[in-house]
Amino acid sequence: MLSFIGRSVVQKIITLFFVSIVSFLIIHIAPGKPSQVDPMNPKFTPEVVERFRKEFHLDKPLHVQYLYFYKDLFTGETVSWKDNQSVLKKIWERFLNSLPLFIVGTIITWTLSFPIGIRSAIFRGQFYDRSATFLSYLLISIPGFFFAYVLIIFVVNQFHVPVIGMETFGIGDGASLPHIFMDRIWHLLLPSVLGATGGIAVLSRYVRSQMLEVEGQDYIRTARAKGLSPEQVHYRHALRNALLPFVTMFGLILPGLIGGSVIIESIFSWPGMGRMAYEAILARDYPVILTVNFVSAILVLAGTFISDLLYLIVDPRIRL
């Protein structure tokens, strides 16, 4: 066990190192320079551009820039080129904004996909299964922004309530606490449902196939033969065993914490991670892009690590 942990930590760190190199190279070798050194603005003389380059260490060779950047990152001193704010602070702020979206989205995904998937497996090939399949694929087949627009126009025109932003604009003055809270929930509804559609479709299909696989096993046949009620068979014997792989998936949702969807966040004016990263890409704000990338890589690696670990704990057959 300990040796497994040690080995995979070392492995993950090496991977992380390579990720940092690759992302650094992608960004620095690609054409386009930070907008602060944009010579298209008549106000930027070549001297100013040169000074900016110096300030950002852009005049140094790549490997030196790499060291500079990661030294700053690990000492927490990285600042965004756009507004000189600490990148970690910015990411933390955005993270807090994205967090509710992520939590509600995840809860919706996980609570809905299980009943849907299980019932589809029980009624395999019947009308319920077919319509569930069709509906879940319908939802992931709509281009996200098209769906979002249609939903927004529908809700706004039918119910005359705001849907964009994190809360109704200006509600802070004078509203009671439950009002504010419920208002937030309402604003979470559409974007998180939109974000969850893909997850529901994929996860419910996965639940269905896991259930089917388990239902085909001999011990289920035995349970049936024993005369147990179908409900007991499905929910007690089959479900428990089918759940095994999903325990490990808890680790894999971790990266979702930082990968907010750019499209949904811009349509819903949600000041989240995705939008910040997107704007950073457009402005070539290298510190922000690289830090977001680095943090998300850490989360991905941590996620796989946790899921390996959970697997190890949950499934006694595996001994590494």
Partner 1 sequence: MNIDEKGFNQDFQFEAPMAPKRTRLQEFWLLFRQNRLAILGLFIFILFFCCAIMGLFITSGPDPLFDPAMIRLQEKLRPPLAKPNLDSLRREEIPCLGFYLMGTDDLGRDVFARMLQGAWVSLTVGFVAVGISVLIGIFMGGVAGYFGQHHIRVDHILMTILLISGAGLVMAHSIRFGAVLLCLTLAYIFYSFFTQNRSGEKSVPSWAKVFRKSAVSVDTLIMRIVDIMLCFPSFFLILTVVALLPASIYNIMIVIGLTSWMGTTRFVRAEFLSLREQDFVAAVKTLGASNFRIIFRHMMPNAIAPVLVSATIGIATAILTEAGLSFLGFGVPPPHATWGNILSDGKNFIFDAPWLTFIPGIAILIVVLSFNLFGEGLRDVLNPKLRERH
Partner 2 sequence: MTIRRVLIFAPMLLILVLLQSYFWVPTYEEQTKGNPERLNEYIAGSIGDASLLNPILTADSASSSIENMVFEGLIDRDEQLRFRGRLATSWEVLEEAFFYVNKSSGIPGLGKAGPQDVADLLREAKKKKNTTDPRLKNSLDYITAISVIPPRNYLVTKQIKGPDTGEQKKYIKISIAAPARIKLALDRVDQDLFQNLSLLLGEDYFASFHGENYLSADPALEKERLAKYAGELLPAVEHNPVLMFHLRPGVKFHDGHLFDAYDVKFTYESIMNPKNLSPRIADYEPVKFVSVIDPLTIKIIYKRLYSPAIGTWGMGILPEHLLNSQALTKEAQRLGKDPNTFSMRQSSFNRNPIGCGPFRFQEWKSDQYIILDRFDGYWEGLPNYKKYVFRVIPDRLTQEMEFYAGTIDSYDVQPHQVKRLEKDQRFQSFSGTAFGYTYIGYNIRRKPFDDPRVRRALGMAIDVDKIINYVLYDQGERITGPFVKQTDYYNNNIKPVPYDPKGALTLLEAAGWKRNKEGWLTKDGNKFQFTLITNNGNDLRKAILAIAQDSWKQIGINVHTDLLEWSVFIQERVNKADFDALILGWQMGIEPDLYQIWHSSQTNPYQLNFVGFKNKEADDLIIKIRQEYDHNRQVEYCHRLHEIIVREQPYTFLYVGKWTAVLDKRIVIKTLDDAEQIVYEKIKPTKTGNYSFYFNKWIKLPKAPSFMDEG
Cβ-based burial of 49 (10 A; exposed 0-12, middle 13-18, buried ≥19): middle
Q: How many degrees, rounded to 5, is the angle at CA 313 between CA 309 and CA 315?
A: 110
The answer to whether 223 contacts partner 2 (rule: CB under 8 A) is no
Question: What DSSP state is assigned to residue 167?
Answer: S
Question: What DSSP state is assigned to residue 123?
Answer: T
Binding site partner of 137, from partner 1, partner 2, none, Cβ cut-off 5-8 A by kind: partner 1
Altogether, the residues listed in the chain come to a count of: 320
The answer to whether 219 contacts partner 2 (rule: CB under 8 A) is no
- Interatomic CA distance for residues 37 and 43, integer angstroms: 11
- Interatomic CA distance for residues 57 and 86, integer angstroms: 17
Q: State which H helix or E strand residue 310 sits in.
A: helix 286-314
In the list 27, 171, 202, 298, the residue contacting partner 2 (rule: CB under 8 A) is: 171
- Interatomic CA distance for residues 191 and 168, integer angstroms: 14
The answer to whether 122 contacts partner 2 (rule: CB under 8 A) is no
- Interatomic CA distance for residues 263 and 196, integer angstroms: 14
Phi, psi of 79 (to 5 degrees): -125, 150
Cβ distance to partner 2 smaller for residue 19 or 262: 262
Binding site partner of 61, from partner 1, partner 2, none, Cβ cut-off 5-8 A by kind: partner 1
**Partners of residue 79 on adjacent β-strands:** 86
194 token code pair: 């939109």
Binding site partner of 152, from partner 1, partner 2, none, Cβ cut-off 5-8 A by kind: partner 2
Q: What residues numbered 271-300 form the site for partner 1, per CB under 8 A?
A: 274, 277-278, 281-282, 289, 292-293, 296-297, 300
Binding track, positions 56-75, relative to partner 1; x by CB under 8 A: -----xx-------------
Task: From 40-48, 66-74, 208-216, 309-317, give the range in contact with partner 2 by CB under 8 A.
Answer: 40-48
Binding track, positions 103-142, relative to partner 1; x by CB under 8 A: ---------------------xx----x--xx--xx-xxx
Contact between 287 and 78 under an 8 Å Cβ cutoff? The reply is yes
Smallest separation, CB 137 to partner 1 (Å): 4
Residues near partner 1 (CB under 8 A) are 11, 14-16, 18-19, 22-23, 25-32, 61-62, 124-125, 130, 133-134, 137-138, 140-146, 149-150, 153, 205, 209, 212-213, 216, 255, 258-259, 261-263, 274, 277-278, 281-282, 289, 292-293, 296-297, 300-301, 304
